[in-house]
Amino acid sequence: MKKNVVLFSKIPADQQERLAQAFNLTLFQGDPKTDISEFIQILANADGMIGSNIPTRIDDSFLQQTPKLKAAATISVGFDNYDLLALKKHGVRLMNTPKVLTESTADLIFTLLMATARRTVELSNLIHNGGWNKSITPEYFGTDIYGKTIGILGMGRIGQAIAKRAHCGFDMNIIYYNRSANTHVEQAYHAKRLELDDVLKQADFVVIILPLTDQTKRLITKQKLALMKSSAILINGARGAIIDEQALYEALKNKTIKAAGLDVFEVEPLAKDSPLLKLDNVLLSPHVGSATTETRYAMAKCAVDNIISALKPEQPTENWVNPEVG
Ligand code: DGY
């Protein structure tokens, strides 16, 4: 008998068709943010769920209401909305899409770094607003990238892809903060692993690409921001909650750091009255690290493969976040 699977995101038609062939597929069209009880009701009879940006935490109380659930496939590399202890307790396999988005996310982070350093959006807006009447004067000058020091917080796949760009394209000096040493980046790109405070003190560009966990939540506090050079630029392509956003606003406003490029925020979408909107020295991007046509397709396909393998009795061979579930 076919298993019941709920799809709660829009995915390409051919991938949805694969799900419909493999399972009794139910689409959740509502916005889970507003329709949580409806979402739970639909999941009450589901063996599996697949989708992205699940806005509610999948924790013990959620899983108590979805007793048949055996597998969840998130269309993302991040899985911070899933409580791993609760998934273990309820025997739910969790799958993610880690490999397919590495390069496009590293590209977006480098885009933010370059555009923030060279003030691309600000200068484009100047022209749009009819302000280019003479040669650009020093108050609009940018910051060099080539040969500078980049501090990468998090040296997983994406951190490594950023290091490759920094070394091969921009001859940057690479320092990084990570739980464990990454010998590949140390040998191939001469990267040096340091304590967090030393990375913050020495880097011209600080790039955050850590997973959001209990250990990394609010890792970048007011005190940590105060360690950064006043000429430094901060890029966050990971999760907004890793930075104390109010402290970041103050650091940018008081110019204790030069600028920031942010693809992620504590609350998404960013509130219409966020103080960050008032600042010129922050480049804002709507969480689009993996948002290219090719990569989003690859992520959807990977997640469909994942839910198909996770709902088999055998153990999945890749992209399995919580093998402890068995
Ligand atoms: C990811 O894959 O985790 C991206 O940040 C999208 O949520």
Assess whether the C-beta atom of 109 lies below 6 angstroms from ligand 1.
Answer: no
C-alpha R_g of the chain:
21
Query: Consecutive 10-residue runs of the chain (326 residues): their mean pLDDT?
Result: 96 98 94 82 96 91 97 97 97 98 98 98 97 96 98 98 98 98 98 98 99 97 98 98 98 98 97 97 98 98 98 97 96
Query: Do 300 and 229 fall within a single domain?
Result: no
Nearest to 232 by CA among 163, 124, 155, 148: 148
CATH of residue 228's domain is: 3.40.50.720
Structural domain containing residue 15: 4-100+294-325
Query: Do 154 and 279 fall within a single domain?
Result: yes
Given this model, what pLDDT does residue 32 score? 66
Query: Do 83 and 122 fall within a single domain?
Result: no
Distances 36 to 9, 11, 28, 31 between C-alpha atoms, Å: 14, 21, 11, 8
Query: Do 208 and 90 fall within a single domain?
Result: no
- Name the pTM for this structure: 0.96
Q: Does some domain include residue 138?
A: yes
Q: Does some domain include residue 227?
A: yes
Given this model, what pLDDT does residue 101 score? 98
Query: Do 157 and 12 fall within a single domain?
Result: no
Q: Does some domain include residue 218?
A: yes
Given this model, what pLDDT does residue 150 score? 99
Q: Does some domain include residue 271?
A: yes
Tokens encoding 176: 């990084």
Query: Do 82 and 114 fall within a single domain?
Result: no
Query: Do 44 and 181 fall within a single domain?
Result: no
Q: Does some domain include residue 157?
A: yes
Query: Do 194 and 262 fall within a single domain?
Result: yes
Query: Do 214 and 315 fall within a single domain?
Result: no
Assess whether the C-beta atom of 76 lies below 6 angstroms from ligand 1.
Answer: yes
Q: Does some domain include residue 121?
A: yes
Distances 272 to 246, 249, 267, 275, 278 between C-alpha atoms, Å: 15, 15, 11, 9, 11
Q: Does some domain include residue 289?
A: no
Q: Count of alpha carbons within 13 Å of 303, Cβ hemisphere only?
A: 33
Q: How far is the CA of 22 from the centre of ligand 1 (A)?
A: 26
Report the distance separating Cα 97 and Cα 104, nearest Å.
13
Q: How far is the CA of 94 from the centre of ligand 1 (A)?
A: 15
Whether 167 is catalytic: no
Q: Does some domain include residue 225?
A: yes
Query: Do 39 and 188 fall within a single domain?
Result: no
Given this model, what pLDDT does residue 31 score? 76
Given this model, what pLDDT does residue 29 score? 85
Given this model, what pLDDT does residue 55 score? 73
Whether 190 is catalytic: no
Q: Which residues pair with 282 in a beta bridge?
A: 260
Query: Do 188 and 313 fall within a single domain?
Result: no
Given this model, what pLDDT does residue 79 score? 97
Query: Do 153 and 60 fall within a single domain?
Result: no
How many domains is the chain built from?
2
Closest-lying ligand 1 atom to the alpha carbon of residue 79: 3
Given this model, what pLDDT does residue 54 score? 85
